[in-house]
Structure formats: structure tokens, C-alpha cells
Chains A and B, each alone.
Chain A
Amino acid sequence: MSQPQQPAWREGATRLRAAATTEPGRLRIIGAALAAVLAVFGGVTAWQVSDRSAAADAVVAHSQPLSADAASIYRSLADADTTAASGFLTGGQEPKTTRDRYDQDIALASELLVKAAANTSGSDTERRQIATLNKQLPVYTGLVDTARANNRQGLPLGGAYLRYASERMRGELLPAASALYEAETGRLGSDYRDAKAWPWAALAAGIVALGALGWAQRRNYLRTNRVFNHGLLAATAATAVVLLWLVAGHTVARAELDNSDRHGAQSLQVLNEARISSLQARGDENLTLVSRGSVLDPATGDDLYEASFQKDMKRLFGNGDNSGGTGGTAPAPGSLLDRAGALADGAAGRDPVAKAVTDVGQWLRQHSAARTADVSGDYKGALQMVNGGKDSTGESFDRVDSELQQALSHEQAQFRHAADNGRGALTGLTAGAAVLALLAATGAVLGIGRRLSEYR
């Protein structure tokens, strides 16, 4: 102490060693240590809970909406392409409903792309896909407009433009939209994992803090024979409250987030995929008639669009070749509609899926009748059965689409409800943990201070 050239830390250590030899010194050290442990506990808890809370917020406010939006972008683009093809098939002046539907699809896709560009926090993949979509969408609409202008003049060039536009859609836009959807859905999954991860560090710090407080109180009892030290007792109570709150809040949040994932997000994903599959099947059905057998699978020589229709339907319904391709009454196990039915809960969730199942069956029967007509040379009849309004496959498709839309809205509401509950379970925990830990630290210091005052 008398040597001024001693380094500060060594001076501190020397002083501490000196202090530890007396009871007041020891008490001072214990008080400081308790305050530190409690502060660490409060800090770690606040930090870990706010992390999870932020992840839960991200699920509700960012990643789930972005994933749903990406699915909508894909759907609008695919629908625009299908609508353009069916407008071409109707011949002559495109019906107003067809035109409006195309315009709405393009408007929705552009709007959601702007939103996605603004909200995507992130990675290069998402940005790159959004850039591709932004670049290619005007090219696509330009080609469709040229196709229309030529159609109106009665020139077959219109059909060639439409084919080229559709090639761009299927070759560039839809793959980009699909990659965007995958990326956003992957982010949703990782946000879920982050939100549900147990806050181990905070739990460990809480147990250490309780242990330290218990030890300090036992020491106090052994030395003074006094059972209660009010300050330390208050500190223990506050710590226990924080720890219990943490465990309970997190357990509830996890359960609700699990619930929102299982009954909301997963349902939504399956339903979105089902809707997209049905849409692709519809597009393939139209293109089979547009191409009129000119696009063949190089390996088998079969019509490529018809083969693609069957593939889409297999994914959606798994109609199975054993039922003669006319569709059974129940979706095959593992097919999208089967999974959607299994994930749906409540009548409001199950009914639209059940109706969609019936309508897909109807669609498959109508499709097979239209194919028979087409193959036997009744092209006009086939056209009527596919695009003719009443009792056409188009009508069945529209019903399937709106039923799946209804199921999606229901599941979206379910998701939101459960996810909000999960997020709510963590509300106040960050601030509460910080305040209570501060109170506990104060209590500990005061409790030790009371003992210390007896030495003065």
C-alpha cells in the first residue's frame, strides 16, 4: 500500500485480501457479489427474452406474411398465365372477365413485389429473386400485350407471342417466385426455432442467483442466529418470481407458437401448395388445347402438357392410375388435399377442404371426358368442356380455387390468433425481469448493509 508504483489491480487484490480477513470486509464482498449475480441474472433474462420476443414478432409481423405474400406472388403469376391462355382459347374479342382477372393478377403481383422488396430483411437469395421478378414481369406483360394486339388483327402471330410469353413465365418468372417462396418459408422456420429456443443462460443464472441468496442467508443464520434478513428475503422472492415468470411465460409462448405453426403455418403452406398445384393443372389443361398436340415429351412422345396436368393432379389429389384416371372420392394418402384435411381443425377449417376434394374429383371426371372428346377429334366439344362456362372444368377449377382460398383465410386467422397469444405470453417479461432483478439486487445490498451497520 505504501508503494505507489504497484499496479492498480494488484493493489485492489491486496486490499480485497486484507478486507477478507475481517467480517465487515467479508460482508461487503458478499453484498457486492450478490448484487452482481442478480444484475447478471436480470440482464441475461432481459436479453434472452427480448431475443425470443423479437423472433416471435418476426414470425407474426414479417416472415409469415412474407411467406404468404411470396405464395400469392407465385399464384398471381401462374393465374395470369393461365388466364391469358384461356383468353386466347375463347377466340376473337377476349371476354371482359378474363381481361379483368389478368389485370388483377398482374396488379397484385406487382404490389406484393414492392412490399416484399421493402420488407425482406434479407439474404441475397431473396433480393436476387425479387430483382429477377421485377425485371421479367414487364417483359412478360409486354409480350402478352403484343400477343393481344396481333390477335385482334386476326394474325396467328398472336399465338406465337403468347407461347413465347408463357415460356418466359414458366422458365424464368415462376422459378424465381418459387425460389422466393422457399427462401421466405425457410426464414419463417428459422424464426420459429429462434422464438421457441429455451433461454438456458437465463435459467442457469436464475438458479445460481437463488443458490447464492440461499447460501448468504444460511451463513447469516449461522453467524447471527437470526432466521430472517428482510432484504435478502425480498431479493429471494423477487428472483423466484422472475424465474417462475420466465419458465411459465416461455412454456406458454412455446405452446402457442407450436400451435400456430402446426395449425396455422403448416396448414397455410400445404394449402398454398395445393392451390398452386390446382392452378398449374388448370394452366396445363388450357395449354394442351392451345398447343393442340404440338408440344410432346421427347422421350415418350406423349403430350407434355397433359402429362404435366396428370403430375399436378397426382400431387394435389393423387388420383392414382388404379382408379382409371377418373378420380376416386377421397384424396390419396400423402397428397396435398389429404394433408390439408388432416391439418385442418374445426368445421370451418375442414368444410372447405372437403368441398375442394369433391370438386377436384368432379374436375378430374370432366377433364377425362374433355380429353376423350379431344383425342377423338371433337376439338370444339373439348374446348366447350374446358372453357365453356357451365359444367366445364373451368367452373370446377374456379370452385376449387375459391374453396382453397376460404380454407386459407380460416387458417390465416387461426395462425394469427395462436401466434399473437404466443407473442403475448412474453409481453412485459423483459422489462419485468430487469426491474425485479434490480429490486432483488437492491434488497440484497440493503440486507447485507443492515448486518454491516451492526459493526459501526
Chain B
Amino acid sequence: MRTHARRRAALAAVTAAACAVAAAVAVQLPDRSGRVPQHPDRTQPVAAAAPSAAAAQCTDPEASLRPSTVDGPAVQRIKARGRLVAGVDQNSYHWGYRDPATGELSGFDIDLVHAIAKDLLGDPDKVVFIAVTTSQRIPALEQGKVDIIARTMTINCERAAQVAFSTAYFGTGQQLLIPRKSPITGFDDSLAGRRVCAAKGSTAETQLKKNPHSASVLTVPNQLDCLVRLQLGQADAVLTDGALAAGQAAQDPSVGLVGKPFTTESYGVAMNLKDEDLVRRVNAVLEEFRRGGGDSPWMQAYRKWLAADLKGITAPPEPKYRD
């Protein structure tokens, strides 16, 4: 434990991004009991100061920690429990959704969770799936309700100050979804006076706050709830990631994407800031997931779930590391 912590502290010292947070975590490590803390109050003094400092320093949030398969306290905790607790979505078509025919959770994110469980516990089905809404992803991690969040979560500086991200496993950008005959031309002033729907706590909501284009904003718990509002005429457009919007369009042929993606977003698996060993382990799983060219598990999952709606992707995004 001691040497582990010291090594970590040394690593953290040379890490430019979020060094304050990492050092704090390293110092805290010996105290860990292996149990999931219900209230992360032990890091309170640092955590209170860290987000703004880290966000200010944050230049490349997509750079994660190098993969490693050494068992740390977080991995040991999961192994002792015998199950991986994963926060997922059950409303994002082809990403994480409950297949109404079978009642099973399925999708790209779900395949990824099964791969992580297989690596950690030797059985892809040793998973407790917890459905979390968009705005509950970070609180669920902070309160220790879940080990990982695999739920089309965009990596950005603001979030990287609160949770730890794996390397990026998918790249997308925000786009507007509208009924086919709508006069809206994109994320521009044609939105004036319209009602735009976005998931609460999503990057789309942040964009709308930054630049609402004189539109009124309607927020709902899950991005799919926006499609319900759009179909019922309670919203004129939906703002979400292109990858998710494609999933919505796949469920309703009378709506479509409009305008070019106007942001660049990468999805990552999110974990508690303190679970560094788990971050490295998940990155190792992702390395395996990407390996194998056209037949890699990543490409297989892509072809199975996403290719029909998100055409033209030939390879997974390249991982970036900061250490």
C-alpha cells in the first residue's frame, strides 16, 4: 500500500493536468478501507478548491492514465464484491437501451461494460446495471453508487475536475434534430422563438445556456424524452450528440439531423477520481477492445449497433495519455 501510494504520488507530481487532485488522492490512499465511501468528505478541503484549479489547467481532458492491469484498491473492491456496478442508460437506442422484445439491456455501451466485467471478474454477466439519468451521472460516481459510468458521457474539462475519464472510445459532435418539414436550418438564428429540448445536465444544455439563439429551452431527464416531446409538438427541435440524435432518427423516420456537428465531443467511461487503478484497468480493456483492425471487438460492436445510423467510421479514436 505504502509503496503504491508513493509511486502514485511521484507519478502525480510529473502529471501536469489535475496534479493537485491526484496528489490529494495519493495521500488519501492509505486510509482506504476498500469500502465504497458514501460521502467523499475526506477529500472535501482539496475537492472544494480543485475543480476550478484543475479546470483552469485543463487543456486536454481526453488524455487519460496509461493502462495497467495491476490490482489497486478499487479493482480489489470490485473483485471482493464479485460484481461490477455500472451506471448506464436504458433510453439511448443502440447505445444503452432496454430491448422491449427481450427486456434485456443492449447496445454499444452495454457491450463495453460486459467486456470490462469479463476482464475484471472473468464473467461478462457479473454486472449490476443501474439506470442513471444524464444529470445523475456525476453524483452517482461521487456518492459511490456505481463503479463506472458507461453512458455516452462526453469528456470535458469541467467534468474531468469531478470524475476520472478513461481514454475516448467514440467521437461525435452536437447536432440538431428536427421534423423533416421544419424551417429550422441548424444551430443558428433560425431557432429564434422556437422551443429546443435537451437532457438536463448534458453538454447540449450547456451549449444552449451559452448561446440560446433566442430559443426557449425545455429540459428532460433523458435525451429520448425529447423525442417524445418533439412528436407531441411540445418541442420544435432536439439538441443532442449526433451519435444519440442518429439513434432518435432511427426510431422516427419523420425526423432528421440538420446542420453540421458544431462541437467535437468524445465519449469516455467515467469513474471516481480516487479509483486510479480502475481507470488504468479500463484503459487496458479499451486497448484490447480497439486492437485487431477491422475485426476488433470495437469494430464488431460498431457494426452491430451503430453502422446503420452512423456511417463511414473505419476505426476507433486513437487513445491519448498524459503520463
Residues of chain A with a CB closer than 8 A to B225's CB: 160, 163-164
Say if the beta carbon of A383 comes within 8 Å of chain B: yes
Q: Is the interface of A mostly helix, strand, loop or mixed?
A: helix
Is B133 in contact with A294, judged by CB distance below 8 angstroms?
A: yes
Q: What is the bound-complex CA distance between A151 and B97, given in angstroms?
A: 12
Tell me whether B90 and A91 are in contact (CB under 8 A): no
For the complex with contacts A88-B100, A157-B227, A294-B90, 5 further pairs of A-B residues with Cβ separation under 8 Å are A154-B101, A157-B251, A294-B136, A301-B143, A376-B83
Given contacts A159-B90, A294-B221, A301-B139, contact A89 B132 (CB under 8 A): no
A390 in the interface (beta carbon within 8 A)? no
Query: Which residues 235-260 of B have a CB within 8 angstroms of A?
Result: 251-252
**For residue A150, which residues in chain B have a CB less than 8 angstroms away from its CB?**
100, 251
Q: Are B98 and A159 in contact (CB under 8 A)?
A: yes
Whether A156 lies near B100 (C-beta < 8 A) is yes
- Residue of A154, A292, A377, A383 touching B99 (CB-CB under 8 A): A154
Is A122's CB within 8 Å of the partner chain B? no
Tell me which residues across on chain B come within 8 A of A379, comparing CB atoms. Answer: 128-129
Which residues of B are in contact with A by a Cβ distance under 8 Å?
83, 85, 90-93, 97-103, 126-133, 136, 139, 143, 145, 221-222, 224-225, 227-228, 231, 251-252
Closest approach, in angstroms, between the C-beta of A14 and any C-beta of chain B? 84
Interface residues on chain A, size class: 20 to 34
Interface hub of A90, A146, A155 (most chain B Cβ within 10 A): A155
Contact assessment for B127 and A155 in the assembled complex, using a CB-CB cutoff below 8 Å: no
| Chain B residues near A156 (CB-CB < 8 A) | 90-93, 97-100, 224, 251
Can you report 12 residue pairs joining A to B where beta carbons are below 8 Å apart? A89-B103, A150-B100, A155-B100, A156-B92, A159-B90, A161-B228, A292-B90, A292-B129, A293-B130, A294-B131, A376-B83, A377-B83
Known: A156-B93, A160-B91. Is A92-B100 also a contact (CB below 8 A)? yes
A291 to B93, CA, bound (A): 16
Give A296's nearest chain B residue, CB to CB: B136
Assess the A292–B128 pair: CB atoms within 8 A. no
Q: How far is the CB of A93 from chain B (nearest CB, A)?
A: 8
What are the interface flags for A117-159 relative to B under an 8 Å C-beta threshold, 1 for contact and 0 otherwise? 0000000000000000000000000000010001110111111
Known interface pairs A164-B225, A376-B83, A377-B83; A158-B133 also in contact (CB < 8 Å): no
CA distance A150 to B253 in the complex (A): 13
Could you tell me the distance in whole angstroms from the C-beta of B29 to the nearest C-beta in chain A? 26
Q: Are A160 and B128 in contact (CB under 8 A)?
A: no
**Complex contact B228–A91 (CB within 8 A):** no
A-side contacts of B127, CB under 8 Å: 377
In the bound complex, CA of A159 to CA of B103 (Å): 11
Distance of A158 Cα from B252 Cα, bound (Å) = 12
Contact with B along A87-129 (1 / 0, CB 8 A): 0111110000000000000000000000000000000000000
A311 to chain B, nearest CB (A): 22
A293 lies within 8 A of B132 (CB): yes
C-alpha gap A90/B103 in the complex (Å): 7
CB-defined contacts of A301 to chain B, threshold 8 Å: 139, 143, 145
B231 / chain A contacts, CB cutoff of 8 Å: 146
Which one of A156, A159, A295 has the highest number of Cβ atoms from chain B below 10 Å of its Cβ? A156
Name the interface residues of A13-66: CB closer than 8 Å to any CB of B: none
Q: Indicate if the CB atoms of A92 and B102 lie closer than 8 Å.
A: yes
Tell me the nearest residue of chain A to B84, going by C-beta. Answer: A377
- Shortest Cβ distance from residue B221 to the other chain A in the assembled complex, whole angstroms: 7
Chain B residues in 8 Å Cβ range of A164: 225, 228
CB contacts under 8 Å to B, within A266-303, are 291-296, 301
Determine whether the beta carbon of B130 is less than 8 Å from that of A292: yes
Kindly list the 3 A-B residue pairs having the minimum CB-CB distance in the complex, ordered from nearest.
A91-B103, A377-B128, A292-B131
- Min CB gap A241→B, angstroms: 71
Chain B residue, CB-CB nearest to A158: B100
Q: Which of A291-344 contact B (CB under 8 A)?
A: 291-296, 301
Chain A contacts for B136, CB-based, 8 A: 294, 296
- What is the minimal beta-carbon distance from B237 to any residue of chain A, in angstroms? 17
Residues of A within 8 A of B100 (CB): 88, 91-92, 150-152, 154-156, 158-159
